[in-house]
C-alpha cells in the first residue's frame, strides 16, 4: 500500500488493531521512551502519543516493532523491491524470468525522484527546534535526540540528488553547549557517506548543507538505514519501497523532502565541533560525550498536524532489530554476491551488531588434499573486514560447511560447529591497533581497538563438554555451564593470571578430552549462564581481543599467538568502559500507572 505520509500508515495499522493511542499527556523527559520500551518488550503495537508535554505535535514510535508489522506496512511493494534488487545484483536474472522482470518495471518508475511536486505539505509552517517533542530517552542522556532521522547531504563535486547520501545519524537537539534553536549536534560514525561529503566540502572551504527529514512515508526511514548496492541511491530505493516517487524541492539552497512531517535545514562549517552526548545507544551502553560537528540551524518546517517519529535503542533486541531483519529479507543475496565464496553472514543483534559477526564461506582452494584446514575462508574474512560496514566487525567467526546443514542465524548450533572443529594453536588471527566502531568502548580510545578472526574448518576434533569438568569445579570460582564448550567463572574470585597459573599444564586435557573451548570471566557467572543472549552481549561487547583474550598454556611462535588449551575471555566491565543503560525506577512506576488504562 502506498502511504502518502506517516499518518496514513498509522491509520492503516489502527484499522487492523496494530496501533495503541496514548490519550493522556505524557512527558517527553524519559516517560515516552519508557512507555515505548514496555510496549516493545511485550511485542505490542505501534504507539501514537496524542499529547506530548511542551509541544503541540503528536509523536509515534514502535512503528517497525516487529518484522511482521514491517512486512505488513510494505506488503504491496516488498516483492517488487526484492525483484529489482535481484536484477541489480544479477542482470541475467531478467533474462531468466522475463515475465517477473516486466512485472517489476512499473515499480522501477517509482525509483525516479519527483522534483517540485505540486503538493509540498511539509512547507505548511515554519517552527523552531523548541517546538518539537524534545524526547530524552535515558537518564544520563545529554539532552533530547532525533532517533529516526533521515539526514540528507550532497556531494560538493557533483551536487544534486543523483549523488546525494541519506543516512540515519543521530541528532542532538538541545543540552550541552548547544544554543537552543540555533545549533544542534550531528553524530556520525566511521564508514558513513556523510563523512565523504563533509571532507569534500571542507577541502573547498565550504559549509556542508544538511537537511534532516523526520517522518513521512515509512519507506523513507528504512531507506536511510539500507545498505544498497553500488549505483542505487537511497532516494531511488525509498520511492520503490514506498510505491510512490520520492518528492523533493529546494528552498534557500537546501533539499526538502516534501512528504516528510518535519525538515530541519542547516550548515556544518569546517572545523566547528561541540560536545555531543552522552546517549544510551544500541549496544546497551551510553555513547559518551565527544566532539562532533555542530549544525547551524537555518529553518525548521512542519506539515499540518505533523507527527514526530522516534524510536528507543538500548540493550538489544530493540525496534532497530526489525530493521535488520527486514533488510536481510530484502537483500539476503547481496552481500554474498559482493564477496566471492561467502555464502552467509550474520551480524548478531544480541551482541550489538558490530561486535560479533558470524559467517559461512567456501573452501575450494585445495580439493586434492585430505588435510582440511582454513584457507579460502581466511581470504573471505579479510574481504569482509574491507567491505563497508562489515568492516566494523570486532569478532569475525567463519567456517565452511560442505553439508550445508548449519546457519549463522542459529547461533548456538553455529558456535558448537565451530568449537568442535577449531584448532586453537592455529585458527586465532588478531588485528591490533586498528579502527573500531565509534560506539564500542572496549578499546582504550575512541574509534581504536583490535579485531580477531576465528576461522575453523575441517573434521570434528572433539566432543564438547555438557557440564563443568572437575578440574574447573576445583577452582572454586563459581563455575557455571553456559553452552557446550563454554564455561563462565566469577572474576571477583579469580583473575586471568590466577586462572592461567592454576590450570598450567592442563590445557590439552581440558580442550581435547574435556571439550572446554572457552572460559569466560564475568562479574556474575550465574547471570551469564542463564541466557545465551547474556553471553553474546557481555562476552563480545566488553572484550577488546588483543587485551582481553588469553589462553591456558598459550604461546607465541613467529609472531603468531596460539593456545594449547581453552581460550580465556575477560568479559568484565573495565574502568574505561561506558556505563550500561539502566531504567529509572520512579519513571517505571509512572509508566505502570499510565499503561494500567490500556490493553495491548
Q: Which residue has the cell 546497551?
A: 284
In a domain, 267, yes or no: yes
- What residues contact 576, with CB distance under 8 A and at least 6 apart? 441, 444
* Domain contains 464: no
Q: Which has the minimum average pLDDT: 14-28, 97-111, 203-217?
A: 97-111
Q: Is residue 480 part of a domain?
A: no
Tell me the average pLDDT across 202-229.
90
Whether the CA torsion 337, 342, 343, 348 is positive or negative: it is negative
Neighbours of 368 (CB within 10 A): 5
- In this structure, the answer to whether residues 288 and 414 fall within a common structural domain is no
What is the number of structural domains in the chain? 2
Last residue of a domain, one of 421, 456, 491: 456
- pLDDT for the residue 597: 85
CATH number at 403 reads 3.40.1670.10
Termini Cα distance of the chain: 25
**Are residue 394 and residue 261 in the same domain, yes or no?**
no
Q: Are residues 259 and 333 in the same domain?
A: no
Nearest to 33 by CA among 583, 596, 592: 583
Burial 133-146 (b: 16+ CB within 10 A, else e): bbbbbbebbbbbbb
In a domain? residue 590? no
Q: Kindly state whether residues 359 and 300 are assigned to the same domain.
A: no
Residue 297 CA to residue 280 CA, distance in Å, equals 24
Question: What does the alpha-carbon distance between residue 464 and residue 417 come to, in Å, rounded to a whole number?
Answer: 10
Name the domain boundary from 428, 456, 484.
456
Same domain, 304 and 331: no
- What pLDDT shows up at residue 369? 67
- pLDDT, tens digit (0-9, with 9 covering 90-100), for 506-536: 999 999 999 999 999 999 999 999 999 999 9
Average pLDDT across the chain, whole number: 91
- List of residues 6+ apart from 184 with CB closer than 8 A: 129, 171, 172, 173, 174, 178, 264, 266, 294, 295, 297
SS3 call for 303: coil
CA 319 centroid distance within chain: 10
Residues 194 and 243 in one domain: yes
Task: Tell me: pLDDT of 23 over 50.
Answer: yes
pLDDT tens digits for range 281-331: 989 999 999 999 999 999 999 999 999 999 999 999 999 888 888 887 777
pTM of the model: 0.89
Is position 482 within any domain?
no
For residues 561 and 430, the answer to whether their CB atoms sit within 8 Å is yes
Cα(2)–Cα(74) distance, integer angstroms: 8
Task: Grade residue 101 by pLDDT with cuts at 50, 70 and 90.
Answer: very low
Which residues span the domain enclosing 276?
6-309
Statement to judge: residues 288 and 395 lie in one domain: no
- Does residue 347 sit in the same domain as residue 217? no
Average pLDDT over residues 116-131: 96
Please check whether residues 47 and 190 belong to one and the same domain: yes
Identify any residues that bridge with 570 across adjacent strands, giving them in sequence order: 521
Query: Would you state the pLDDT for residue 104?
Result: 54
Cα separations in angstroms, 515 against 421, 465, 475, 476: 11, 5, 17, 20
- Within a domain: residue 377? yes
Which of 456, 474, 505 is where one domain is finished?
456
For residue 249, give Cα distances in angstroms to 161, 166, 193, 252, 306.
10, 15, 22, 10, 19
Q: What is the CATH number of the domain that holds 167?
A: 2.30.110.10
The pLDDT score that the predictor gives to residue 333 is 57
* Position 94 confidence tier, pLDDT thresholds 50, 70, 90: very low
Q: Is residue 475 part of a domain?
A: no
Tell me whether strands 114-115 and 286-287 are parallel, antiparallel or unpaired. unpaired
Query: 257: which residues sit within 8 A by CB, 6+ positions away?
Result: 122, 150, 152, 211, 213, 216, 220, 246, 247, 248, 263
302 and 336 co-located in one domain: no
Both 21 and 50 in one domain: the answer is yes
Query: What is the percent of the chain with per-residue pLDDT over 90, rounded to a whole number?
Result: 74
- To which residue does cell 575462508 refer? 377
Q: Are residues 293 and 365 in the same domain?
A: no
Question: Looking at residues 40-52, what average pLDDT do you find?
Answer: 97
Per the CB < 8 A criterion, the answer to whether 375 and 367 are in contact is: no
Q: Residue 149 has what pLDDT? A: 96
Amino acid at each position: 500500500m502506498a502511504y502518502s505520509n506517516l499518518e496514513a500508515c498509522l491509520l492503516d495499522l489502527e484499522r487492523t488493531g496494530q496501533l495503541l493511542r496514548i490519550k493522556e499527556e505524557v512527558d517527553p523527559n524519559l516517560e515516552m521512551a519508557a512507555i515505548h520500551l514496555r510496549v516493545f518488550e511485550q511485542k505490542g503495537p505501534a504507539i501514537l502519543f496524542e499529547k506530548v508535554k511542551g509541544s503541540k505535535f503528536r509523536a509515534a514510535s514502535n512503528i517497525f516493532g516487529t518484522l511482521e508489522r514491517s512486512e505488513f506496512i510494505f506488503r504491496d511493494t516488498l516483492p517488487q523491491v526484492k525483484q529489482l534488487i535481484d536484477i541489480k545484483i544479477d542482470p541475467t536474472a531478467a533474462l531468466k524470468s522475463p515475465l517477473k522482470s516486466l512485472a517489476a518495471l512499473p515499480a522501477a518508475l517509482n525509483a525516479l525522484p519527483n522534483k517540485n511536486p505540486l503538493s509540498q505539505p511539509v512547507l505548511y509552517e515554519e517552527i523552531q527546534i523548541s517546538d518539537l517533542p524534545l524526547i530524552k530517552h535515558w537518564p544520563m542522556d545529554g539532552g533530547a535526540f532525533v532517533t529516526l532521522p533521515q539526514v540528507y547531504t550532497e556531494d560538493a563535486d557533483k551536487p544534486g540528488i543523483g549523488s546525494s547520501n541519506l543516512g540515519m545519524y543521530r541528532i542532538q537537539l538541545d543540552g550541552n553547549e548547544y544554543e537552543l534553536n540555533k545549533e544542534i549536534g550531528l553524530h556520525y560514525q566511521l564508514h558513513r557517506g556523510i563523512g565523504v561529503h563533509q571532507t569534500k566540502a571542507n577541502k573547498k572551504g565550504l559549509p556542508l548543507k544538511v537537511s534532516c527529514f523526520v517522518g513521512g512515508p515509512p519507506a523513507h526511514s528504512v531507506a536511510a538505514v539500507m545498505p544498497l548496492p553500488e549505483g542505487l541511491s537511497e532516494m531511488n530505493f525509498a520511492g520503490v519501497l514506498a510505491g510512490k516517487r520520492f518528492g523533493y524541492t529546494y528552498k534557500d539552497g537546501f533539499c526538502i523532502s516534501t512528504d516528510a512531517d518535519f525538515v530541519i535545514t542547516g550548515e556544518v562549517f569546517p572545523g566547528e565541533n561541540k560536545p555531543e552526548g552522552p546517549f544510551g545507544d544500541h549496544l546497551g551502553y551510553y555513547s559518551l560525550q565527544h566532539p562532533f560537528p555542530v549544525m547551524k540551524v537555518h529553518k525548521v518546517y512542519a506539515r499540518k498536524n505533523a507527527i514526530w517519529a522516534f524510536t528507543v535503542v538500548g540493550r538489544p533486541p530493540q525496534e532497530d532489530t526489525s530493521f535488520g531483519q527486514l533488510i536481510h529479507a530484502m537483500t539476503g543475496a547481496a552481500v554474498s554476491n559482493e564477496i566471492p565464496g561467502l555464502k552467509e553472514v550474520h551480524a548478531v543483534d544480541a551482541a550489538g551488531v558490530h561486535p560479533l559477526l558470524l559467517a559461512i564461506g567456501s573452501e575450494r582452494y585445495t580439493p586434492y588434499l585430505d588435510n582440511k584446514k582454513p584457507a579460502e575462508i581466511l581470504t573471505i574474512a579479510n574481504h569482509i573486514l574491507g567491505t563497508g560496514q562489515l568492516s566494523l566487525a570486532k569478532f569475525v567467526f567463519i567456517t565452511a560447511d560442505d553439508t550445508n546443514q548449519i546457519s549463522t542465524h542459529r547461533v548456538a548450533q553455529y558456535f558448537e560447529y565451530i568449537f568442535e572443529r577449531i584448532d586453537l594453536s592455529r585458527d586465532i588471527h588478531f588485528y591490533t591497533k586498528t579502527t573500531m566502531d565509534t560506539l564500542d568502548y572496549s578499546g582504550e580510545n575512541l574509534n581504536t581497538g583490535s579485531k580477531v578472526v576465528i576461522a575453523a574448518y575441517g573434521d570434528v576434533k572433539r566432543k564438547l563438554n555438557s557440564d563443568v569438568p572437575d578440574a574447573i569445579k576445583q577452582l572454586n570460582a563459581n563455575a557455571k555451564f553456559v553452552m557446550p564448550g563454554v564455561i563462565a567463572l566469577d572474576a571477583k574470585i579469580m583473575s586471568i593470571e590466577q586462572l592461567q597459573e592454576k590450570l598450567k599444564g592442563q590445557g590439552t586435557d581440558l580442550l581435547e578430552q574435556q571439550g572446554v573451548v572457552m572460559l569466560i570471566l564475568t562479574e556474575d557467572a550465574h547471570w551469564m549462564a542463564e541466557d545465551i543472549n547474556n553471553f553474546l552481549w557481555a562476552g563480545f561487547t566488553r572484550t577488546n581481543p588483543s587485551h582481553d583474550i588469553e589462553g591456558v598454556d598459550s604461546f607465541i611462535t613467529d609472531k603468531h599467538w596460539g593456545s594449547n588449551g581453552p581460550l580465556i575471555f575477560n568479559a568484565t566491565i573495565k574502568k574505561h568502559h561506558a556505563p550500561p543503560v539502566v531504567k529509572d525506577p520512579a519513571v517505571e512506576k509512572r509508566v505502570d500507572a499510565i499503561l494500567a488504562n490500556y490493553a495491548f
